[in-house]
Structure 1
């Protein structure tokens, strides 16, 4: 079926221009002024609105088994919520248990993801090392379209990668033409600080940020950057939350290193005052790692997006309900780490970034879609409104408003870190693979309609 989006302003990362957009099936086939309406085509009026590439969230956790429980959002509810917010593609994480075979874990996540309503692809975490991991990384790149591998420098005694694993995995990534990514926190420091706080009887959620100060993140970021420099690999640092980590990225980039930084919508909008609430359920609802930081760090993150040292925006969408969070009522280290946001990322960044003048509409498209597509090698299939691209399109109403609430959201978990915020700038219509899946508040997501997206390797340095 053909669909034409008429009368809007197309916004790509490089420019904005008035044009109609014609889709045929799951592809965009024409972009231009006054396109002829094909017989029988569905017509979407975008007058007074922007027409942008669907958002790409490069950091989500759907159906994640973590800290003794499983996230509330599975791949259907999570991707459906994303579609309601204008995000049409997610990059989730396969996280093998220590000593678990990588291919086995990958197939488990693929099975869970069959329910996806939007397109999806995976980073695969390296949580341990031996010769089989070396082998399986090659299989994942060559046979399964995986071109990025995640390394947790935190979560001691669970999934933390030590320096030996980082060095060996980074080298293997270089050989395969894959991108190493890191969660940058010094896991040993976090563990010791947690134990110190518990011994002092400081067991509530307000201790969570005390156990993970900016210095803990900065040390790990600097260490990962140094290892990548020696190994001659690029590096992508997820959820950069503090000025010190941003400065490490900026220094490396100034010296010619290919280091990319990701900012979370939550870190850009929510500050650390949430941990000091007398409502312990509210405070626990905000426990994630790295934690929310002070307004000083938020200002630095916005400057990083403006200046080009932070490249993508994500959510780390990882939803737990109050009952799950209550597992840590007597010990903050047992609160499942994670917050939502896949449904709200684009609106809160537009509201805080574009409406304030900090970002232009084209810069917004860069940090919500195009840069992620380019960094993870799915551009120009994704991340642009152009002939031949996937028909993942968001018609964006810059004057539309919505008050964010857990009571009205599509995502599960019963909590929202942006609760009560009224945003100006919302999707009026979302198309995924050419199908209208959201229109004026009505979600029409279809379970299982999402496609797995293969991501080709970058140029490998050897044939090993």
Structure 2
């Protein structure tokens, strides 16, 4: 394995930043050393294959983007990034791993969806990658397939409480999937919105001719996100499944997650940068 010493930089970690040298052996960080350390020898720079001078620069671990959508078809469109272009941009930005979403649509088989996404990504990625599995049709066959996902290197799956007729799972389906998730160690990822109620609000707004972008926010009322987030938390509590709520956009939903965590429940949430800047309040 080739060895590399990154010297003279400011190393940034989860605990802070400090002047340090980083020794890399192959693709693994072998040591983080104080400048001038002789712990691994008096002439470490002379004993490695490559020395990189990082003076005046930050040295940071590679980032992991745990929620990407490369070449994802949805609503008659497809994500603009391919696995090639998306991961090339990720590498330039310091992201060294992505976790994308393999999709099982209604009426399809879970493993067929996973195989399709492996085919899209194979040989195209500039960084490491893995998959979450979207379960768009919770039935006996897909529940059985979920049990085999860990053997395929997939440790998480995603359900939707929104988009009736596309990916939507009702409470009984969510309960069944979470039971399997709890038994197999799979992380349950959840799109938490009350989809049927949102669709009813959309229909009312369309009937009133209210189609400006502003009304998109009106139809996605925070009450529908808080309610669904709470419901997902309760189902996870009942089944013992770990829960990861994706793209949280309402502060009230954050409060539900925080309360569950304060009670010791194994739940997490993520947001998107745009939700911190583009809000209904701003539009008012």
Shift of 1:3: 2.2
Alpha carbons 2:175, 2:239 under 8 Å: kept: yes
Partner of 2:45: helix, strand, or coil?
A: coil
Distance 1:199 1:229 in 2: 39
> How far 1:188 sits from its partner (Å)?
0.7
SS at match of 2:162: coil
Q: How does 1:18-417 map to 2 (within 5 A)?
A: 18-33=19-34, 34=36, 36-38=44-46, 41-114=49-122, 115-141=124-150, 143-268=151-276, 270-272=277-279, 293-294=280-281
Contact between 1:57 and 1:87, CA under 8 Å: does it hold in 2?
yes
Out of 47-56 and 166-175, give the one that drifted further: 47-56
CA contact (8 A) 2:160 2:190 kept: yes
Match for residue 311 of structure 1? none
Deviation, structure 1 residue 2: 2.6
Cα deviation 1:405-434 (Å, max 9, x = unaligned): xxxxxxxxxxxxxxxxxxxxxxxxxxxxxx
Write the distance in 2 (CA, Å) between the matches of 1:120 and 1:8.
28
Q: Deviations over 1:166-206 (max 9, x none)?
A: 10000100000111110111101111111111111122322
The structure with more radius of gyration: 2
1:218 positional shift = 0.8
Name the CA distance, whole Å, in 2 between partners of 1:197 and 1:4.
61
Report the Cα distance in structure 2 between the residues aligned to 1:49 and 1:188, rounded to whole angstroms: 51
Distance 1:40 1:19, change over 3 A: closer
Deviation, 1:248, is 0.3
TM-score (norm 1): 0.57
Structure 2: tracts of 5 or more residues without a match: 38-43
CA contact (8 A) 2:103 2:113 kept: yes
Counting matched residue pairs gives 274
How far 1:213 sits from its partner (Å)?
Answer: 1.6
Q: How many Å separate the matches in 2 of 1:12 and 1:134?
A: 40
Alpha-carbon distance in structure 2 between the residues aligned to 1:262 and 1:42:
38
Which stretches in structure 1 are left out of the alignment for 5+ residues?
273-292, 296-464
Once the two structures are superposed, residues 226-285 of structure 1 have per-residue CA deviations (whole angstroms, 9 ceiling, x without a partner) of: 1011111221111111110011011111111111111212222x223xxxxxxxxxxxxx
**Alpha carbons 1:2, 1:38 under 8 Å: kept:** no
Tell me, in whole angstroms, the C-alpha distance in 1 between the residues paired with 2:55 and 2:228: 48
Could you state the TM-score of these two structures normalised by the residue count of structure 2? 0.91
Q: How far, CA to CA, are the matches of 2:178 and 2:121 in structure 1?
A: 27
Greater fraction helix: 2
Give the Cα separation in 1 of the matches to 2:137 and 2:274.
30
Aligned-pair distance for 1:159? 0.7
1:5-20 alignment, distance < 5 Å: 5-20=6-21
Q: Secondary structure at the match of 1:59?
A: coil
C-alpha spacing 1:37/1:130, structure 2 compared with 1 (3 Å): same
Structure 2 distance, partners of 1:233, 1:170, is: 6
Contact preservation (8 Å) 1:156, 1:188: yes
Asked if 2 retains the 8 angstrom alpha-carbon contact of 1:221 and 1:237, the reply is yes
Q: Shift of the alpha carbon at 1:16?
A: 3.2
Q: Which has the higher contact order (CA 8 A, sep 6+)?
A: 1
Tell me, yes or no, if the aligned pair for 1:19 and 1:32 is still in contact at 8 Å: yes
Change (3 A) 1:203 1:255: same
Query: Separation in 1 of the partners of 2:190 and 2:142?
Result: 17
| Match of residue 3 from structure 2 | 2
